[in-house]
Each structure stands twice: as C-alpha cells, then as structure tokens.
Structure 1
Amino acid sequence: MTGPPAGSRVHSPGPAGSGILAVDSGGSGLRVAVGGTEGGPPGVRESAVPVRTGARGIDTGHLMEQLVPMVRELTALTGVGRTTVAVVGAAGLATLGDALRAELPGTLAREFGVRTLALAADAVTAYAGALGSRPGTVVAAGTGLIATGTDLTRWRRADGWGHLLGDCGGGAWIGRAGLEAALRAHDGRHGGSPALLTRAERRFGPVSGLPGELYPRSDRAAVLASFAPEVAGCAPDDPVSAGILRAAAGHIADSAAAVCPAGDAPCLALTGGLFGLGDALLVPLEEMLGVRLPHVRRVAAEGDPLHGAVRIAGDLAADRLRLPVDENMLNIITTPEITLNGD
C-alpha cells in the first residue's frame, strides 16, 4: 500500500461500509475526505500540492496521481469498501473544467467504483459548507473573491473573475491597491502612503525593482494578496490604507447584493481567510451590508468547502439534494457500474 505523501495529514477514521468521496481542489492544494454513506466523521487527507492546469484546463491525470494513493489509504483506515458517490469541488471548474467533465466520471468509476459524481465549482462547495441547503448568499474571499447566491431554484454568482479582471475587494485587490499607494508615495504623487511605502520596502526591498520581480511570476496574485495584511496593519493610523479597506468593503457588499435572493430574511455568510484582516475591513463591511442588504439574516459560516463537498455527497447518497443542478456550477453525472481496477 502506498504511504501518505509528504505534507499530508491523516485524521480520524469514519464509519465502515460503502461510502462517499469528497474532494476540495484549490490554489493551496488538495483535500480529500472518505466516509460512510450513513454519516459520521470522515477520514481526511490533505496535500499542499495544487492540481496543475494546462492547455486543456484542469489536469485530470495530475489530480488522479494525488487522489489514488490518498483514497486507497483512507478507504483502508475507514473500512469503506467502494466510494459509490463522489463530489469534486474544483477552483476554475466553469472555465477550466472541460477535461474533468469528459474524463473524471469514467476514471473514478474504474478506480473506486463511483456511480454518481457531482462536479462542483469551489464557490458551490463553499456555499454548501457555509449554509448547507438554505437559500441565501455566501461571499468566499481569500486571495480572490466570489459571491454565490441561490433561492434553491437557480444559482447566481458575482465576480470571481481573477486578479487581472476582477476579484474586487479580495486579498490580491487590496494588496495591489496598497502597493500602488506605496509607489505613489515613492514618486511624490497625490494619494500616496508613506506608511505603506515603508512596509513595502521592508517586505520586498526597493520598490523600484518591484515590477520586474512581480510581473513575470505565475503566483503574482498570491504575492499581491500577501501585502493585504500590511494594508490592514496600517489602517488604524493611515487614512490611505483605511480608504483602501473601505473601498474593498464596498466591492464585497456590491457582489453580495448582486446575488442575494429575494424573500424573507435569506441567510448571508462570509467565509475565507480575508475576513481575518480584522476591524479595519469588517467594520465598514458591516455598515455597507446593513445599507445594501437590510433584509438579510447574518449567520456564521458552518464549515469550509471540504465540509460542503461532504454535505453534498451525503445528500446525493440519501437522495435529498436540494441545491440546484447546473452544468457549470453543480453537475451530476451517473456512470454505469463497471469492473474496478485491480478486481
């Protein structure tokens, strides 16, 4: 049996019997859960290696290279035989998921016995993790930002267009605005922030070299987002930094309002690392949400995207899924039973 990959963690085993497979594939790596269809805590593995993308989009082969040993180990630990239901939540599914849609159903059926597969955008698994099957809105914000809403008949999404075209108010957006203010101070232009210039040079070195360091990098969104905490740190004493975070709060409220369903007090939850920036962001955000969405009921997110994938898998196994099915957001694929690899 293949042992755990470097950097992975094994959590408590779940119940015995036939089971479910839940996958959360994002920019920070891959997380996998295997559990019994009757419920109970699943076994979980984590890898810090993100699934590659290429000319055909998300690389199915690279996903399976990581997934197979993780699932084999977890099925042994949990006592699960065949994982007959699987949910794969993937960042970029709507625009980069053609290869997954074509290749993954048959591959998972051969490897693990999966009969029912749900391919979900990561925004959908974030929604399910935060709110379950309740109507409402979830804003998921970290390096990027996307808002997702549903009245349980259809999905609506706002932003999530990436750091070059959108993700307004997200970590990369805040970090880029902070670095722009630092460069303005360096040039002596109006709107600059000496405080942010000091922090930028402490973090990156002389800012005159920043474009050459940043532009060629494939991870520039993450590098930009790494400066967002510096903006938050300056905000209590620096009006420019405070203004950036207030503008970010406005963008977040705009996206939430764009997707929020009508009706009596739909739920609104915020999830993701961005909201750990603290009061400099949260105070203006609460103010703007109160103005834009006075009818919503604010609730704490119940779980993360992997939790959401587990929830969707459990609902599929029990034939009680209430979230709307959509080809780009939540696509359900049924595969005829075939012989497992190795049988």
Structure 2
Amino acid sequence: MFPEGSAAHPPNSGFLAVDSGGSGLRVAVGAYGGPPPVEGKSGRPVRTGERGIDPAHLLELLLPLARTLAAEAGVEELTMAVIGAAGFATLGDALRTELPDALTAALGVRTVALAADAVTAYIGALGPRPGAVLAAGTGLIAIGTDLTAWRRADGWGHLLGDCGGGAWIGRAGLEAALRAYDGRAGGSVPLLERARERFGPPPELPALVYPRPDRAAVLASFAPEVAACAPHDPVATGILRAAARHMAESVAAVCPKSGEPEVACTGGLLKLGEPLLPFLSEELAQQVPHARQTAPQGDPLHGSARLAAAIAAGDAVWPEDPRLLCVTAARKSAT
C-alpha cells in the first residue's frame, strides 16, 4: 500500500522527480501546489554493473542537480522523491536495497518511490486511467494496467526483443542493404546507398557495429534512413509496416481486455512521423479495437512528478509491484 498522504505540507516543501534513461538524467523539483517544477538534466547515464544499476553513481549525478534545482525553485525541504529508471524491473535490486535510505540521509526525504521508466511513462501519458502505453525509442516496451495490476510486454533489449523499436528497424534496414550488396533476394538498393553514405563500404560494417558498447544506438541511428526511403522503396515500407505490427502486438498483450481502455504512444521513434505512424494507427485499430487511441498527456519526467504529487496527497491509484513500482516511507530515525 502507498504511504498515507496529506494535503498539508511544511512551508516551502516540495518533491524531487527523476527520469533516468540511456541518455542521462532529467530532474525536476517543485513545490506542492505551486508553479511548474524547475527542470535540469545531466547528459551522463547512470552506470550499470554486476549489481545492476549503480546507486552510488546515480546519487553522484543526482544530488548536485537536486540541490541546485531546489534552490532555484525556492524549496527548502524535499519530502518526496520519485525515481523512474530504465532497467529497474530487471536491474534494480541494488536501487531497491540502498537508494531509499541514501536519499533520506542526503536530502531528508520522507518517502521514496522507485519505478521502471515504463511505469512513469504510463503515468505521464495516461494518468489515473486504465489502458496501455507504448514506449518506442531505441528499444521498445509496452505496459498496461487495469489499475489493479501491471502487465508489461517486450523490453528485452535489442538482442532478444525490442521488436519494432529503433534498433530493430535500423538492423532490418541494414540487413536489406547487405542483401542488395550480396545480390540476394529481399535487398534494397536505396538502403544500400544510404548505408554507404552513413557507414562507408559495406564489408566494413560488421567491424563498425559488433564491438560497439552502444551497438543498439548505432543500429537505431539507421532507422531514419529507412523512413526516408519508405515513400519510394517497397522494402523500406515493408520494414516499417512490420515494425508497426510488432508494436501493436506488444500493446495488445498488455491492454485491459474489457472496459474502455486508452492507448497512448510515446518515445523518440515516433518522430519518424508519416512513414510509420499511419501503419501504427492501423495496426492498433485492428489488434485493440476496443481501446481508444489518445495523445499522451506528458512524458516520463511528468509521470514522476505526477506520482510524487499523488502520493503526497494520498490519492495514488496505480498498483504497487515489487519490480515495477515500490514506495518506501523513511524510518523516523532517518528524518
């Protein structure tokens, strides 16, 4: 159960909201019931090691930002912290064990909520309504809830899944380019030309991709080239149509089967625009015909802030889950 909240807060108190992803931290500090939060960011992503997401490194990046933003926002006391983190579901054990006490000791917060970034994406996009959210960027994950339990689909990374995400599209485009280079069926000469322009001679491509620690991002960087070729290349068009089908399949796996759920799509991959989005809308209409497609209200950082405000007010409705959303009240001795 969520800790009991109260509409009354100490003067000049507020909350800390965090979105931790592959490109770094986005942080917001706001006063309860006050003006919009003050935001800042760090371009350094939190390290992941043998213990999963590194709590010490997260604090190293977060604490200076949090204190600076609190001063800018005129918040003298932070009573709530909500951390939405990519990989939390599978790599968050150390965060669950160490981060609540560490944040209380460093900032004096009384309540800490830790969540998967898919959960904060959902809360930011749909708020307290049942439905499903597709988060599509370099990777891809879908999450849904009927407000009694969470369901997630995909998000298994670019080697095992993330079907339809940016890395998936880019890899499929490069495969089609190399098929054309070899003279095999299913190749695309336009994609081969784009691959040459971006990466150089095709025989050098494996050495450019395989050793890279950011391999998924390298593959995803070719997704816009696939979209650019789609209007005049049936192979590129087929890749985007298949990506849309995979996306809708993940949404269908998590969307509540009854009632009137809503579906929202978020993430940088949607910037591909016209070549992809009509296919996605068509696939969603076919695979979740009972759901209403809607524009997201906000992003994952907005979701973290919304969750903080709801917990503080005592009206949070989203289900807790040990791997997706857990909330801890500080021990009295730590306050």
TM-score (norm 2): 0.95
Alignment of 1:211 with 2:220, yes or no, is: no
Match of 2:251 among 253, 256, 268: 256
* Structure 1: 5+ residue stretches without partners: 1-14
Match of 2:131 among 124, 129, 136: 136
Name the SS of the counterpart of 2:276 in structure 1.
Answer: helix
Whole-angstrom CA distance in 2 between matches of 1:256 and 1:59 = 30
Whole-angstrom CA distance in 2 between matches of 1:78 and 1:336 = 27
Aligned to 1:276: 271
Residue 262 (structure 1) shift: 2.4
What fraction of aligned residue pairs are identical, expressed as a percent? 64
1:125-204 to structure 2, matched below 5 A, reads 125-204=120-199
Whole-angstrom CA distance in 2 between matches of 1:285 and 1:79 = 44
Name the SS of the counterpart of 1:123 in structure 2.
Answer: helix
Aligned to 1:75: 70
Whole-angstrom CA distance in 2 between matches of 1:44 and 1:286 = 32
Aligned to 1:8: none
Aligned to 1:3: none
Match of 1:305 among 300, 308, 319: 300
Which stretch shifts more, 256-265 or 309-318? 256-265
Is the contact between residue 106 and residue 335 of structure 1 (CA under 8 Å) also seen in structure 2? yes
Match of 1:319 among 294, 314, 317: 314
One-letter identity of the residue aligned with 1:220 = R
Alignment of 1:227 with 2:216, yes or no, is: no
One-letter identity of the residue aligned with 2:115 = A
Whole-angstrom CA distance in 2 between matches of 1:338 and 1:63 = 24
One-letter identity of the residue aligned with 2:53 = I
Aligned to 2:115: 120
Which string of whole-angstrom CA distances, capped at 9 and with x for unpartnered residues, describes residues 275-308 of structure 1?
1112221111111111111111111001100000
Aligned to 1:53: 48
Is the contact between residue 174 and residue 248 of structure 1 (CA under 8 Å) also seen in structure 2? yes
Name the SS of the counterpart of 1:83 in structure 2.
Answer: strand
Whole-angstrom CA distance in 2 between matches of 1:82 and 1:283 = 47
Name the SS of the counterpart of 1:221 in structure 2.
Answer: helix
Residue 213 (structure 1) shift: 1.3
Aligned to 1:7: none
Residue 118 (structure 1) shift: 0.7
One-letter identity of the residue aligned with 1:83 = L
Whole-angstrom CA distance in 1 between matches of 2:148 and 2:259 = 16
Summarize the Cα distance change of 1:16–1:31 in structure 2 as closer, same or farther, 3 Å threshold: farther
Residue 54 (structure 1) shift: 0.8
Residue 114 (structure 1) shift: 1.2
Whole-angstrom CA distance in 1 between matches of 2:216 and 2:125 = 25
* Structure 2: 5+ residue stretches without partners: 1-9
Aligned to 1:241: 236
Is the contact between residue 113 and residue 337 of structure 1 (CA under 8 Å) also seen in structure 2? no
Match of 1:101 among 89, 96, 105: 96
Which string of whole-angstrom CA distances, capped at 9 and with x for unpartnered residues, describes residues 130-183 of structure 1?
001110010000000000100000000000000000000000000000000000
Is the contact between residue 109 and residue 338 of structure 1 (CA under 8 Å) also seen in structure 2? no
Match of 1:17 among 12, 20, 30: 12
Match of 1:33 among 14, 28, 52: 28
Which stretch shifts more, 49-58 or 256-265? 256-265
Name the SS of the counterpart of 1:279 in structure 2.
Answer: coil
Is the contact between residue 110 and residue 338 of structure 1 (CA under 8 Å) also seen in structure 2? no
One-letter identity of the residue aligned with 2:114 = L
1:324-335 to structure 2, matched below 5 A, reads 324-335=319-330
Question: Larger relative contact order (C-alpha < 8 A, sep ≥ 6)?
Answer: 2
Which stretch shifts more, 282-291 or 156-165? 282-291
Name the SS of the counterpart of 1:137 in structure 2.
Answer: strand
One-letter identity of the residue aligned with 1:197 = L
Summarize the Cα distance change of 1:339–1:292 in structure 2 as closer, same or farther, 3 Å threshold: closer
Whole-angstrom CA distance in 1 between matches of 2:262 and 2:115 = 21
Whole-angstrom CA distance in 1 between matches of 2:108 and 2:28 = 16
Which string of whole-angstrom CA distances, capped at 9 and with x for unpartnered residues, describes residues 239-278 of structure 1?
0000000000100110011001023321110101111112
Aligned residues: 326
Residue 312 (structure 1) shift: 0.3
Which string of whole-angstrom CA distances, capped at 9 and with x for unpartnered residues, describes residues 91-146 of structure 1?
00011111111110111001111111110000000001100111001000000000
